[in-house]
Amino acid sequence: MRELPPPDACPAWAELVRMDAVAPSAGSAGPLAAAAPGVTLDYSRQRVNAAVMDLLLQLARERGLEKRSPPRFAALRAGDAAPKEIQDSFSRMKSIAGELRKSPTFTRVVNLGIGGSDLGPRLVADALGDGALELRFAANLDPLELERALRGADPASTLFVVVSRSFDTPETLANAERARRWGGKRFIAVTANPQAAAKFGADEILPLPEWIVGRFSVWSAAGLAAMCAIGPQAFEEFLAGAREIDAHAARAPLAENVPMLMALLGVWNINFLGCTAHAVLPYAHALRLLPSYLQQLEMESNGKSVDRDGEIIHYCTAPVVFGAEGTPSQHSFHQLLHQGTQVVPVDFVVTGNNPFLNANARAQADALAFGSGDAELTAERRNPGDRPSSILSFDGLGARALGRLLALYEHKVYLQGLLWNLNSFDQWGVELGKRLARDILSKGK
C-alpha cells in the first residue's frame, strides 16, 4: 500500500499543470538565488516566479521530501561517523596511494573498470591530478583503449586497479586478462566478491560493500585511482566538500536548499514545460568530463518508467543529459540551444577564476533567456529567448569545490527520484542487453 500519493495525484501537481509558464527574470538574480557552502545557484533565468516556486515547494512537501531519510551515499563521506568498514577501507587506501606516489617502483597506475567504476575516478583524476603518478583508464571492451593506456609503460612498474563490485563485469575482466597477458604483475581488486578476485590472482583486495551503487561510488575504495592521482590529503578535501553539501541538503529549509531547488526546477522543466533534454556546460577545462559523469548519474538512476511500487508511470522522469565544456560547445551545439525548435534547459557551471570564461557563460545564459527580437534583424538572425538556464558559481576549483559539485548533483538526482517515486539505485534496463550479447556470442561459437 502506498504511503503517499504518486506525484501526479498530489494537489500541487494539478495546480502546476494549470500554471502558465513565465518569462525569465531580466537583470540580477534578485530573490531567485540560493547559496550552499562555496556555491551559489542563480535561477533567475528559469521560467518561474514566486507562485510557481511556492507550488513546487508544496509538491515537495506533499511527496514527503521535508521528512526524507538521509541518502545512503552520504555515509561514504561521513568522516568519523562513517561505518567502520568504510573507515578501514579509507585508511588502507591512504596507505596504498601514499606509498605509490613516493615509490620508485611504480610509475603508472591503470584503472580497469566501467560505468561508475570508471567515470567518477576518471573525472576526479582529470580535473585535479597533480602528475605525481601517471594515471590511465581503460573501460572499453575495444582493446584499443587498453593498448593506448599501456603505451610506453613497463610491466614491472605498472600497477592495475581492477574495480568491479561483482567481479564478473565482462568488459572489466576482459581488460584485466589482457593486462595480465601483456605482462602485468601487480593487481589490486576493489570488489564485493573477494573470492572471485582471489581466484583471478589479485595481490590485494579492497572491499566494496554491496550497498554501494557504482555511480555513487567515487567516494569509496572505487576511488583508489583518483586518490593516487590527487593524493590522500586532496582526497580528504574532496570528501569534506561533499560532506558540507550533505549537511546543507539535510538541514537547509526547502526554499533555501540548493539541491532541492535544482531538483524542483528540473521537475518543472520536464513535467510541466515539456523539456525532455538537459544540457550541462562547465566553463572550465578541468570539468570537461562532468557531462559524461552526469549522464550516468541522472539517466541510469532515474531513467525509469516503473515506480518503486511496480506501477507503470504516466509522467516523464529523467531527461536526456548531454553537454561539453563551455567555450568549445558554443561553436558546436549552442545553435540548437538558441534557435532550435525544442527548448533545452541548461546548467552553466562556472568556477570564478577566469573573467573571460565567466563572461562567456553569463552571455550565453542571457542570450538564451532574453534573446534578440530587434525588428531590424531578419528572421533567421533573431533569437527567441525564453529558454531557461541556471548558473552554478563556485569559489574556484579545488578538491573541496569538486566534492561540493558532485554531491550537489547526487542529492538532486536522489530528490527527483523520491519525488517521482523511483528506485534510483537499480538499473535493470542495463541487464537485458548484456544477456542478449552473451546469447549472441554463445550461438556464434
Domains plus CATH for the chain?
Answer: 7-62+238-419 (3.40.50.10490), 72-230 (3.40.50.10490)
Whether 339 and 383 have beta carbons less than 8 Å apart is answered as yes
User: What is the DSSP pairing of strand 39-42 with strand 389-394?
Assistant: antiparallel
In the chain the first and final C-alpha atoms are separated, in Å, by 48
Whether 23 and 83 have beta carbons less than 8 Å apart is answered as no
Distance CA 303, CA 169 (A): 22
Buried b (16+ CB within 10 A) or exposed e, 98-126: eebbeeeebebbbbbbbbbbbbbbbbbbb
C-alpha distances (whole Å) from 137 to each of 49, 294, 338, 379 are: 45, 18, 35, 48
- pLDDT at residue 26, as a whole number: 52
Which of 300, 304, 325, 411 is catalytic? The answer is: 300
- pLDDT at residue 27, as a whole number: 46
Could you give the 3-state DSSP secondary structure of residue 350? strand
Distance CA 302, CA 420 (A): 9
The pLDDT tens digits along the chain (445 residues) read: 577 889 999 999 999 999 977 877 654 445 799 999 999 999 999 999 999 999 999 999 999 999 999 999 999 999 999 999 999 999 999 999 999 999 899 999 999 999 999 999 999 999 999 999 999 999 999 999 999 999 999 999 999 999 999 999 999 999 999 999 999 999 999 999 999 999 999 999 999 999 999 999 999 999 999 999 999 999 999 999 999 999 999 999 999 999 999 999 999 999 999 999 999 999 999 999 999 999 999 999 999 999 999 999 999 999 999 999 999 999 999 999 999 999 999 999 999 879 999 999 999 999 999 998 787 888 898 889 999 999 999 989 999 999 999 999 999 999 999 999 999 999 999 888 888 988 898 887 5
What type of residue sits at position 321? Answer: V
Whether 157 and 127 have beta carbons less than 8 Å apart is answered as no
CB hemisphere CA count around 355 (13 angstroms): 0
Distance CA 222, CA 216 (A): 10
User: What is the DSSP pairing of strand 33-36 with strand 39-42?
Assistant: antiparallel
Whether 384 and 369 have beta carbons less than 8 Å apart is answered as no
Whether 193 and 165 have beta carbons less than 8 Å apart is answered as yes
- Give pTM, 2 decimals: 0.96
Check the CA dihedral 424-426-432-438 and report its sign: positive
Distance CA 104, CA 422 (A): 49
Which of 314, 331, 443, 445 is catalytic? The answer is: 331
- pLDDT at residue 21, as a whole number: 74
C-alpha cell at 231: 593524493
- pLDDT at residue 442, as a whole number: 85
Instruction: Let me know if 331 is a catalytic residue.
Output: yes
CB hemisphere CA count around 256 (13 angstroms): 8
Instruction: Let me know if 334 is a catalytic residue.
Output: no
Closest CA to 7 of 61, 45, 63, 65: 63
Cross-strand pairs, 39? 36, 394
